Chains A and B, each alone.
Chain A
Amino acid sequence: MQIITGRVWKYGDDINTDVIFPGKYTYTVTDPGEMAKIAFEDLDPNFAKQVRPGDIIVAGKNFGCGSSREQAAFCFKYAQVGAVVARSFSRLYFRNCINAGLPALTLPQSPDIFQSGETISVDLQKGIIRCTAGEYSFPPLPEAVLGIFLEGGLIPYTRKALGFSNTQSAEEKAGE
């Protein structure tokens, strides 16, 4: 597993999926590039304009509460966010991140240990976050869930489990 390095985007508690990816777009915006442009539209309009590949979102408790919409996880993946670090996640949001192959890391410390804009690194294998304030460890993903994440998300994982190759398209497999 790689080390993720990126700048910190810091937010508070109970950030809900409506401010991450507004409900009015859930059936009309489906293109990955367009979805990335909507990320955090109702919370921080600068985010989508300025986010860079690898950047890391840090937040307080209950990140991603509200709707089940997985676009709220996928929009960050499409914006090439490196990881989401929070004190706790809503269960649906956590599942959606794993299913999207987006690292969702639960760090017991307050997000205040991070400075907005500072560059931090996340070592997924060792479970360590390095920032200006020091080194902090986070618990590993449960083993049953780690497999999905390592495969790049639920769909590649399910394809593999059903015997389809992930380097081969579904149509190719069907044509065999």
Chain B
Amino acid sequence: MGQTFAEKVLGRLAGKRVTPGEIVQISPDYAMSHDNTAAIVKTWRQIGVKRVKHADRHVVILDHCVPAANEKFAQNHKEIREFVKEQGIRHFYDISRGICHQVLSEEGFALPGKLIVGSDSHTTTYGAFGAFSTGIGRSEMAAIMATGQIWLRTPETIKIEAKGKAPVGISAKDIILHIIGAIGADGALYKSVWFCGEAIDAMTIDSRMVLTNMAVEMGAKNGYMEPDDKTLAYLEGRARAEFEPVRSDPDAEIEQHLQYDISDLPPQIACPHAVDNVCSVEKVAGKKIDQVFFGSCTNARLEDFAIVAKVLDGKKIHPSTRLIVIPASSQVLEQALQSGYIDILVRAGATLVNSGCGPCMGNHEGVLAPQEVTLSTSNRNFKGRFGCKDAEIYLCSPLTAAVSALTGEITDFRSFTL
């Protein structure tokens, strides 16, 4: 019997062959933490060790509330800066660099075959590069700082195959929302999800990251694609370390093989207050929106800016709607500036904010008031997510968001003349 991707990556670190269900004590290749590093450090100090076990394996990125919105956040950031200096953590990115998952990828840490853990649930993103990556808790990151190790259960594998060619305007976001809607918020609970098929092969790296980013929204432990020429081209001149692509053996045990034909997929939207509450955009078209949020680790990369800029070029957003724009990273911002996208968006009436997580978890820069409705390119629409439990959040693709910003209501882009 062959081995799956998950068995191979975890087995490499365990130094033995592992099978699903087996719990291994292993040492991750990289460990990412963000603004929560301040709280992690407090816990780490309780353990009693004086030095971080593997300082070079830690990547610390400030993104969740940048620049600091108040004294408490500022104190957090200050403590983190002092800590990375004290411990000699070289891989530190301060407030101007961008959202952790985008930065870790751009900086070449997200590599095929590596085990990457992060104290953030969307750490699954790095699977787009063929890494095994998963979220962990704050105490676990503190324990890794002390011992270099973590326990992980070897997951079973679900293969999700996206067949067919996506219709014009249908993006990775529509595809992943459709899949999550179909299998549910716990459809891949504890599983390793392997995304494959014609539609995945055709996707850019930016698009693949949308799928792996949202794998956690169906309960997955990790989501990944096998590296191909596009992956290797992205990593060229960027990779931080040597790497070996890891692929499942043809005769490895796959627990479930799900297939989705996306050839006729209409634009998809997740309605309040669950990510698996998905329907076609046309079913909720006409719903008035107070705010559009174009940002987050899911959909604020350069290709998303190209799409949004094309829609907004020479136009103005609807007067009753606000458009908050937050590029995923400083690199994305730079490229979007050079390409003229930012100019188009700002002229259209967008509110441009520096790279970071923004309002996504309710910290700042576009939180909502009761009864307000927002359309968002992010990944979660849980009650309270944008800082207010009485607001409504709809999740959609950048194209749907852009078109709806012009009309002031949820709009099916197929019914809109660009």
Binding site for B on A (CB under 8 A): 14, 16, 18-19, 22-24, 26-28, 30, 41-43, 61-62, 65-70, 73, 88, 90-92, 95-96, 99-100, 142, 144-145, 153-155, 158-159, 161-162, 164, 170, 173-174
Q: A14-B274, A68-B135 are in contact. Are A42 and B389 (CB under 8 A)?
A: yes
In the complex, identify which listed stretch (B140-148, B283-291, B336-344) lies at the interface while the others stay far away: B140-148
Contact between chains at A42 and B383 (CB < 8 Å): yes
Contact between chains at B46 and A170 (CB < 8 Å): yes
Q: How far is the CA of A93 from the CA of B153 in the complex (A)?
A: 14
Contact between chains at B362 and A22 (CB < 8 Å): yes
Task: List the A residue with the shortest CB-CB distance to B21.
Answer: A142
Contact between chains at B43 and A155 (CB < 8 Å): yes
Q: Which residue from B35, B38, B49, B151 sits with its C-beta under 8 Å from A145?
A: B151
Contact between chains at A92 and B135 (CB < 8 Å): yes
Q: Does B382 contact A (CB under 8 A)?
A: yes
Q: List 9 A-B contacts (CB under 8 A).
A: A18-B385, A19-B383, A19-B384, A22-B384, A27-B73, A66-B121, A68-B120, A158-B142, A159-B46
**Nearest Cβ on chain A to B332's Cβ, whole angstroms:** 23
Contact between chains at B139 and A154 (CB < 8 Å): yes
Task: List the A residue with the shortest CB-CB distance to B44.
Answer: A155
A-B contacts, CB under 8 A, total = 145
Q: Does B314 contact A (CB under 8 A)?
A: no
Contact between chains at A92 and B136 (CB < 8 Å): yes
Q: Does B137 contact A (CB under 8 A)?
A: yes
**Nearest Cβ on chain A to B28's Cβ, whole angstroms:** 14
Contact between chains at B135 and A18 (CB < 8 Å): no
In the complex, identify which listed stretch (B185-193, B242-250, B294-302) lies at the interface while the others stay far away: B185-193
Q: Which residue from A62, A100, A153 sits with its C-beta under 8 Å from B189?
A: A62
Contact between chains at A95 and B23 (CB < 8 Å): no
Contact between chains at B65 and A162 (CB < 8 Å): no
Contact between chains at A66 and B189 (CB < 8 Å): no
**Nearest Cβ on chain A to B9's Cβ, whole angstroms:** 17
Task: List the A residue with the shortest CB-CB distance to B22.
Answer: A144
Contact between chains at B219 and A90 (CB < 8 Å): yes
**Nearest Cβ on chain B to A120's Cβ, whole angstroms:** 24
Task: List the A residue with the shortest CB-CB distance to B380.
Answer: A66
Q: Does B363 contact A (CB under 8 A)?
A: yes
Q: Which residue from B49, B50, B221 sits with its C-beta under 8 Å from A91?
A: B221
Contact between chains at A62 and B65 (CB < 8 Å): no
Q: Which 7 pairs, one residue from A and one from B, show the smallest C-beta to C-beta distance? A: A23-B361, A170-B48, A24-B362, A62-B186, A18-B382, A70-B137, A42-B389
**Nearest Cβ on chain B to A25's Cβ, whole angstroms:** 9
Q: How far is the CA of A43 from the CA of B383 in the complex (A)?
A: 9
Q: Which residue from B39, B76, B136, B186 sits with its C-beta under 8 Å from A14?
A: B186
Set of chain B residues within 8 Å of A30, measured between Cβ atoms: 39
Task: List the A residue with the shortest CB-CB distance to B64.
Answer: A27
Set of chain A residues within 8 Å of B78, measured between Cβ atoms: none
**Nearest Cβ on chain A to B318's Cβ, whole angstroms:** 28
Q: How far is the CA of A90 from the CA of B274 in the complex (A)?
A: 15
Set of chain A residues within 8 Å of B142, measured between Cβ atoms: 154-155, 158
- Specify which of A27, A73, A88, A159 lies most central, judged by the most chain B CB atoms within 10 Å of its CB: A27
Q: How far is the CA of A88 from the CA of B385 in the complex (A)?
A: 23
Contact between chains at A91 and B140 (CB < 8 Å): no
Contact between chains at A162 and B139 (CB < 8 Å): no
**Nearest Cβ on chain A to B89's Cβ, whole angstroms:** 20
Contact between chains at B185 and A27 (CB < 8 Å): no
Task: List the B residue with the shortest CB-CB distance to A153.
Answer: B139
Q: A26-B36, A68-B119, A162-B146 are in contact. Are A144 and B151 (CB under 8 A)?
A: yes
Interface string of B103-143 (1 = CB under 8 A from A): 00000000000000001110100000000000111111011
Q: Which residue from A65, A92, A164 sits with its C-beta under 8 Å from B185?
A: A65
Contact between chains at B146 and A24 (CB < 8 Å): no
Contact between chains at B143 and A68 (CB < 8 Å): no
Set of chain A residues within 8 Å of B138, measured between Cβ atoms: 68-70
15 other A-B residue contacts (CB within 8 Å) besides A26-B36, A41-B384, A158-B47: A18-B383, A23-B361, A24-B367, A27-B72, A27-B73, A69-B137, A69-B138, A70-B139, A90-B186, A92-B137, A144-B23, A154-B143, A155-B143, A162-B49, A174-B48
Set of chain A residues within 8 Å of B164, measured between Cβ atoms: none
Q: How far is the CA of A144 from the CA of B139 in the complex (A)?
A: 17
Q: Does B414 contact A (CB under 8 A)?
A: no
Q: Does B349 contact A (CB under 8 A)?
A: no
